[in-house]
Structures are given as structure tokens and as C-alpha cells.
Amino acid sequence: MEFFLERFIGFRDMIHLVLVGMNHRTASVALRERLACSAGGELAMTAELLRNHDIREAFALSTCNRVELLALARDLSGTERLLREMLGAGADLPPGKSGDCFYSYSGREAVRHLFRVTASLDSMVMGEPQILGQVKEAYRRSLEAGAAGLFINKLLHHSFRTAKRVRSETAIAANAVSVGSMAADLAKKIFGSLRKRTILIIGAGEMSELAAKHLMNGCEGRVVAANRSAEGALRIAEIFGGVAVGLDGIENALNDADIVISSAGASEFLITKAMVERAVRRRKNRLLFLIDIAVPRNIEPAAGSIDTVYLYNIDDLQEIVDQNLCTRKEEALAAEAIIEEEVQSFEKWYKTRDVVPTIAALRTKVEAVVREELMTALADSHGRPGSSIDVEALSRTITNKMLHEPIVGMKEECFDNGATYLTAAVRRLFRLDNE
Amino acid sequence: MILFATVMVFYLVAALGHLLSLAVKRITLARASSWVLLAAAAFHGLFIAVRWIEFGAPPVVSVYDSLGFLSWAVTAIYLFAQWRTQTTVLGAVAAPAAFGMIMISSWPTTVDVGVLSFALKSGWAVAHIVCTLAGEAFLCMACCAAIVYLIQDRLLKRKRLNALSRYLPSLGDLDRVLHVCIVSGFTLFTLGIFLGLLRARAVWGAAWHWDPKFIIVFVSWFFFALLLHQRLALGWKGKKSAVLTVVAFVVLIFAFFGDGILFGTIHRFS
């Protein structure tokens, strides 16, 4: 990292953090397909990175929407080139043609990028929850491969912490942004718990299947599938372990259903207001949630005017989803502020991590000297009248002991190199010029 | 009295906390406020116990004492309801209501039991008051739930899934609270009225009097009976039952406060 340069010149090697990657914004689907590698791919990439002797630690993340390679090495530009070549080769790109689809960051920019990725700020659907798990999984593999050392460990753990903060302190992931999860959210607002609800699925479309999956998520509900063709109904019924009926079974199924998802292709309404009114009477006014995601619509819109019936069509759901996406964008601003804070906090750890052991050693040493001298003085005092310690002599010996080594060291340094920065450092550390 | 001041402060803090949480829509704040309300209820319980010992009878006989008891009961019912269901947000209605009642009850008109009218000097009278008040507390909580239900219902019907509707409890949970409160409230209220009629016969010679208070209480009792019948027999849910709950409760408030303020009644003792 850059901030390393000034501080440790001459003391140790400069280490750089380099990140090269591509995501849904920079690369086409075709390219992402070629690069999107499995768990084995991540391992292979880290292994290949570690074969390079310059690279100390490495981390590879690969999901269907992004690939990120992260390396800790001495040679900044060389490593960047190496990472770009690796990605280019993986995507079957001719050398030198990778320029536009890959991005690269180094130092704190790389840290910020990783934090943003983990916190799902860089995702296609901002705030989606899967990415954190994917990064954790990739980190575990990097540990297995022996590619994660102190730095990567600390960096990844810090990024998990940041992601958790973003999730809990902002509403970035709070509201549903898909029609399916929106339907589930609404159902929860109507029924409270979704446990043991009965869901009627009309039509064998993918949309209703997806929405039903969201609704059935951990609620042990019962499913009735209705469809024009028997095999369609059976297929859906089989997925959710429910029963299949024909379209003429809808009227009956309405008696028990709490939630109806409809996405059948039909020219006339499959559920009319009169049908719902009859059902409401039979079901003693239990609340009924109707979701009509078919175009043209399957459920007569007037059915929504019945007191205990809540009818949402695809436009209603889409409108709320759009609003939620807007909210997420607003929340993203707050999230960016958290990211910035955490990047700084990581930087602080990085900058001060070397001084911590020194502080500890210094403290131990001073304590040892003081304790030893105090013990000696106490032992001496037993023979004296009144058993009093000679404080003046004690402070003198402690001073001498404490300053002996620094003074000798300064003198030697002065003799070898002239009155250099060591003297200046001592003057500064002890604030000798301020007094 | 320091204890009473503490109770007031706790109620105030809880009410403000709940209202603020409604404004910023943070459930953690509402939860914290509920803990404050729990503390308020505990101190209030202690206060009631102290007064009980002082007077040697349950401190419920004067209008102001009974309001204090009512606010304590409402708080207790709310705390129980939010413990059993996800309805912490109801505190935004219940806590200010409890605070309002304790505020009014703090007006200095202490009635000495020694000079109480003959009508109240009886275990029957005290049982009548306690049952009626406890019933009213349940019905008050039912009214709170009904108000929130109507708001949430309106938002969901108009397809406004905004921050407010997300923050408010679900219709299902609200209806459950509503139902339990109406069943228990109506039972206690009915029992209370029955005991009151018995006492009236003993003191005034006849159980029923064509007195404004009697009539208004009967009207509100009839509304609640109707509501309960519709809910149990026809499965009334949703808007209609919530509206009827609020209407019935408004009549009940009128019966409670009208006492000697809006109309004259023989049901007056101080």
C-alpha cells in the first residue's frame, strides 16, 4: 500500500495490495460466462498466483457476475500485469485486448472496492444478500489453499464486519426488489406469520412458481395447483408437494386458500368478483390475498373492493418494487459513508500494527526495571532505622538504568553517522524542545 | 408523592419514545420504550399497592383513582399483547393513552374512603368497579388495535407499501390482539355491569334506572355484544369489525367521562 512507502523505506520491502477484476458493468455476459469459474477454478487461480514468488498472499472470488483477483506483492505494476493476463487467458482474450473489460485497483482503492463488493454495493441488484456468503466461501477456500496470511485474514474479516454494519445500519437490503419477494412481504403484512397457509397457484408459469417459492420459504404451507393442462398442474404440485386440480377446481380451492397466485394465460377472468364473494362468505371472512401476475389479467379487478380481500396485479407489485429500488439507491449513500469509515479504520490498523508489539515490549521492559529497583530498595531498607526507602537514591538508579541503553545507542549512532534523525527522533518523542 | 412522580415520568418517557419511534420508524426504539413502560407499570403497581394499604380498600372508587387503575391495566394488557405477538408498535397508541389517563388522574381530588357514600361501601361495589375497569382496559386496547388496523388496512388496500405500513404490525397480528381483547374485555365488562346492577338494587331499590349513564353504558354494551356476535357467528373480520370497535369504545368513553360533567346521573358519589 502506498502509505507504506514513506514510513518503512530502508527497513523492509514495500508491499502492495493489487486487485484486478471484472463485473457485470465492465464485461459482457459472454465474457463472464467464460470466466465464471467454479469453486475449483477459484482454487486453481489462487494456486497459480502463489506460484509466483513475488506474491505473498492471494485471494480469488468468482461468482456468475464477477471475478476478482487480489494479491499482495512487492512489484505493483508487474503484479497488475500478471493478474490481467491471468484473467485474459481465462476468458480466451488475445493478450493486450483485455484493457476495457477489466478494472484494477491498488492500495486503499483496492480495500474500498473489496468492502463495497462484500457489502453488496457493487452488485447488479444492490443489497442482494448472496454475495456475502460467496465471499466467505471464497475466503474459506483461500485459507484451505494456504493463500491467506495475516493481511488477507484481517482484510476479509474487516470486510465481513463492514458488510454486517451496512446491512444493520442502513435499509439497503430491507425492502423487496423482486416481484416474488414483494408478494411474500405483502403476505406477511397481511397475515403476520405465513406458517401453515394454503397457497393456490393458478397457471404453470415460471413467475408464479418463483413467487410461490418465496412464499413457501420456511412456512410449511399447503399448495393447490390449478392449471388448464393436467401435466402443468401436476408439475407444480410435485415441486411443492401439493395437490393438482383443473381450472374448474378453482372455485372450490378458494374456500381454503389464503394466498392465490395467478399467472395463467386466459382470455376471460378465471376468478370473478362473484366467485370471490361466494368464497368469502363460505370462509367466514378470513383474509384473502390475491396476486394476479398474468397479462391479460386472470382476476376481476372489482374483487379487490371486497372488504377482506387484497388484490394486487403485476403493475401494483412492479410499482412498489421500483419504489424500493429508489430507496435502496438513497440508502447506498449512507452505506458508502460506512465503507469510507471502515476503509480508514483498516488503514489505521495497517499503519499501527507494527508499533503495537514495540509498545508492549517497551512497557514490559520499563516495568521490569522499576520493579527490580524497588525490590532492591525495599530489601535494603529493612536494615535501616524506621525501614524507610531512600527515594532519592531509588529515582537516581531508575533514571540511570532506564537511560543507559538509549544514551549509548545515540552516542554510537552519532559516532557512526553524525547527529542524525535518531537524535531528532528522541527530541521529538520526549518533547525535549517544547520545554 | 415521589413514587407517583416517578410513574408519571416513566409513562411520559415511554409515550414519547413510542411516538418518536413511529416518526423515525425504528423498531428498536419502540422495544426500548416498551421496557420503560414495563418499569412504569411496575412502579405504578407499587403505587396502587401503597394506596391500597393506606385506604384499606382497592383505590378505584373515585373517578381519578379509577383512571389511574385503568391506565395501569391498559399498560399491563399492552405489555402482555406485545410479548405474545409482533405488535410492539401498538405502544404508540397505548402508551400515550396510558399517560393521558394518569395525567388526568393526577388532578388533586382525593376522595377519602371514610366519607364515601353508602353505595360504595361494599365488597360488591369494589368488585363492580374493578371488573368494569379491567373490562374497559381490554376494550381500550382493542380500540388501539382497531385504529392501527384501520390505518394498515387502508395502506394495503391502496397498495401503498411504504415505510409506515412496513413499520405497523400485520393485519393478522392486529386482529388477533383485537379478538382476545374484545372477548376478555366484554366478559369482564358484562360481569362488572351485572355486579353494578345487583348493587343498584340493594342501594337504590331497583336494578335498572332510566338514567343517562345507565343508558349510555347499555348502548355501548350493546355495540360490543353485537360486534362479538358478528365476529363469532359470522366471522366478521377486517374493516367493519374495526370500525364498530372504535364506535363502541367512543360511546364507552362518553359513558365514563360524561359522569357528572356532560349529564347528571345518580351514579355519582363524590
Residue of chain A nearest B235, judged by CA positions: A284
- Share the mean pLDDT of chain B: 84
Is residue A80 assigned to a domain?
Answer: yes
**Would you call A284 and B173 a contact, using CB atoms and an 8 Å cutoff?**
no
**Would an 8 Å CB–CB cutoff place B152 in contact with chain A?**
yes
| Boundary-marking domain end, from A153, A174, A195 | A174
**Would an 8 Å CB–CB cutoff place A281 in contact with chain B?**
no
- Distance from the A188 Cα atom to the nearest Cα atom in chain B, whole angstroms: 7
**H-helix or E-strand spanning residue B7:** helix B2-24
**Would an 8 Å CB–CB cutoff place B239 in contact with chain A?**
yes
Option in A283, A307, A316 nearest B159 (CB): A316
Out of A335-339, B46-50, B253-257, pick the least confident: B253-257
Which residues between 66 and 85 in chain A have a beta carbon less than 8 angstroms from any beta carbon of chain B?
none
Cβ pairs bridging A and B (under 8 Å): 58
pLDDT tens, position by position, A28-65:
887 787 776 655 677 788 888 888 888 889 999 988 88
| Nine-digit cell string for A109 | 482503492
Out of A5-14, A188-197, A333-342, pick the least confident: A5-14
For residues B74 and B123, membership in a common domain is answered with no
User: B224 lies in which domain range?
Assistant: 117-270
pLDDT tens, position by position, B230-263:
888 887 888 889 999 999 999 988 887 766 566 6
The string of DSSP codes covering B18-84 is: HHHHHHHT-HHHHHHHHHHHHHHHHHHHHHHHHHHHHHTS-S-SSHHHHHHHHHHHHHHHHHHHHHH
Whose cell is 413467487? That residue is A211
Q: Mean per-residue pLDDT for A321-339? A: 89
Please give the Cα distance from A157 to A192 (Å, whole number): 36
**Would an 8 Å CB–CB cutoff place B171 in contact with chain A?**
yes
| Boundary-marking domain end, from B111, B143, B173 | B111
- Distance from the B199 Cα atom to the nearest Cα atom in chain A, whole angstroms: 40
| Boundary-marking domain end, from A302, A319, A336 | A319
Chain CA centroid to CA B211, Å: 23
Select the residue from A287, A312, A314, A321 to test the B interface by mutation, using most B Cβ atoms within 10 A: A287
Is residue A195 assigned to a domain?
Answer: yes
For residues B72 and B9, membership in a common domain is answered with yes
- Distance from the B86 Cα atom to the nearest Cα atom in chain A, whole angstroms: 8
Option in A186, A286, A319 nearest B237 (CB): A286
Looking at the 3D structure of chain B, how many domains does it have?
Answer: 2
Q: Mean per-residue pLDDT for B16-33? A: 88
Option in B157, B166, B173 nearest A192 (CB): B173
**Checking DSSP bridges between strand A66-73 and strand A55-62, what pairing results, if any?**
antiparallel
Could you count the other beta carbons within 10 Å of the beta carbon of residue B86? 15
Quick one: pLDDT at residue A96?
63
**Would you call B159 and A312 a contact, using CB atoms and an 8 Å cutoff?**
yes
For residues A124 and A36, membership in a common domain is answered with yes
For residues B64 and B161, membership in a common domain is answered with no
Quick one: pLDDT at residue A156?
95
pLDDT at A274 over 50: yes
Q: Mean per-residue pLDDT for A314-330? A: 87
Is residue A296 assigned to a domain?
Answer: yes
For residues A139 and A186, membership in a common domain is answered with no
Q: Mean per-residue pLDDT for A203-224? A: 81
Please give the Cα distance from A230 to A235 (Å, whole number): 9
pLDDT at B197 over 80: yes
pLDDT at A10 over 60: no
For residues B157 and B123, membership in a common domain is answered with yes
Q: Mean per-residue pLDDT for B3-9? A: 88
pLDDT band at residue B3, thresholds of 50, 70 and 90? confident
**Would an 8 Å CB–CB cutoff place A334 in contact with chain B?**
no
pLDDT above 70 covers a percentage of chain A that reads 93
| Boundary-marking domain end, from B111, B140, B166 | B111
Chain A residues lying within 8 Å of B27, measured CB to CB? none
Quick one: pLDDT at residue A65?
84
Q: Mean per-residue pLDDT for A98-125? A: 88
Quick one: pLDDT at residue A371?
92
For residues B176 and B51, membership in a common domain is answered with no
For residues B51 and B124, membership in a common domain is answered with no
- Phi/psi at B263 (nearest 5 deg)? -150, 160
Give yes or no for a contact between A287 and A307, defined as CB atoms under 8 angstroms apart: no
Q: Mean per-residue pLDDT for A178-205? A: 87
Is residue A43 assigned to a domain?
Answer: yes
Quick one: pLDDT at residue A2?
43
For residues A217 and A279, membership in a common domain is answered with yes
Quick one: pLDDT at residue B12?
93
| Boundary-marking domain end, from A154, A174, A194 | A174
For residues A225 and A203, membership in a common domain is answered with yes
Out of A160-164, B3-7, B121-125, B141-145, pick the least confident: B121-125
Chain B residues lying within 8 Å of A312, measured CB to CB? 159
Q: Is there a catalytic annotation at residue A326?
A: no
**H-helix or E-strand spanning residue A377:** helix A355-381
Option in B161, B165, B171 nearest A287 (CB): B171
pLDDT tens, position by position, B60-94:
777 777 888 889 999 999 998 888 887 788 888 88
| Nine-digit cell string for B34 | 416498551
For residues B128 and B44, membership in a common domain is answered with no
| Boundary-marking domain end, from B52, B76, B111 | B111
Is residue A342 assigned to a domain?
Answer: no
Chain A residues lying within 8 Å of B162, measured CB to CB? 323
Looking at the 3D structure of chain A, how many domains does it have?
Answer: 3
**Would an 8 Å CB–CB cutoff place A178 in contact with chain B?**
no
Chain A residues lying within 8 Å of B234, measured CB to CB? 284-285
**Would you call A189 and B237 a contact, using CB atoms and an 8 Å cutoff?**
no
For residues B76 and B143, membership in a common domain is answered with no
Please give the Cα distance from B24 to A122 (Å, whole number): 28
For residues A144 and A69, membership in a common domain is answered with yes
**Would you call A189 and B157 a contact, using CB atoms and an 8 Å cutoff?**
no
Chain A residues lying within 8 Å of B157, measured CB to CB? 304, 310
Residue of chain B nearest A311, judged by CA positions: B157
**Would you call A190 and B165 a contact, using CB atoms and an 8 Å cutoff?**
no
**Would an 8 Å CB–CB cutoff place A416 in contact with chain B?**
no
pLDDT tens, position by position, A282-312:
888 889 999 998 888 899 999 999 988 999 9
Give yes or no for a contact between B168 and B219, defined as CB atoms under 8 angstroms apart: no
pLDDT at A7 over 50: no
**Would you call A191 and B166 a contact, using CB atoms and an 8 Å cutoff?**
no
Quick one: pLDDT at residue B260?
58
Could you count the other beta carbons within 10 Å of the beta carbon of residue A228? 15
Quick one: pLDDT at residue B113?
47
For residues A204 and A266, membership in a common domain is answered with yes
**Would you call A190 and B176 a contact, using CB atoms and an 8 Å cutoff?**
no
Quick one: pLDDT at residue A132?
92
Could you count the other beta carbons within 10 Å of the beta carbon of residue B25? 16
Quick one: pLDDT at residue A173?
80
Is residue A329 assigned to a domain?
Answer: no
The string of DSSP codes covering B165-221 is: HHHSPPHHHHHHHHHHHHHHHHHHHHHHHHHHHHHHHHHHS-S----HHHHHHHHHH
**Would you call B156 and A193 a contact, using CB atoms and an 8 Å cutoff?**
no
Quick one: pLDDT at residue A155?
94
Please give the Cα distance from A139 to A119 (Å, whole number): 15
pLDDT above 90 covers a percentage of chain A that reads 30
Chain A residues lying within 8 Å of B169, measured CB to CB? 192
Is residue A109 assigned to a domain?
Answer: yes
pLDDT above 70 covers a percentage of chain B that reads 89
User: A264 lies in which domain range?
Assistant: 179-319
**Would you call A192 and B234 a contact, using CB atoms and an 8 Å cutoff?**
no
pLDDT at B115 over 60: no
Which of A37, A64, A101, A326 is the catalytic position? Answer: A64
Give yes or no for a contact between A128 and A46, defined as CB atoms under 8 angstroms apart: no
Q: Mean per-residue pLDDT for A336-342? A: 94
**Would you call A192 and B85 a contact, using CB atoms and an 8 Å cutoff?**
yes
**Would you call A287 and B234 a contact, using CB atoms and an 8 Å cutoff?**
no
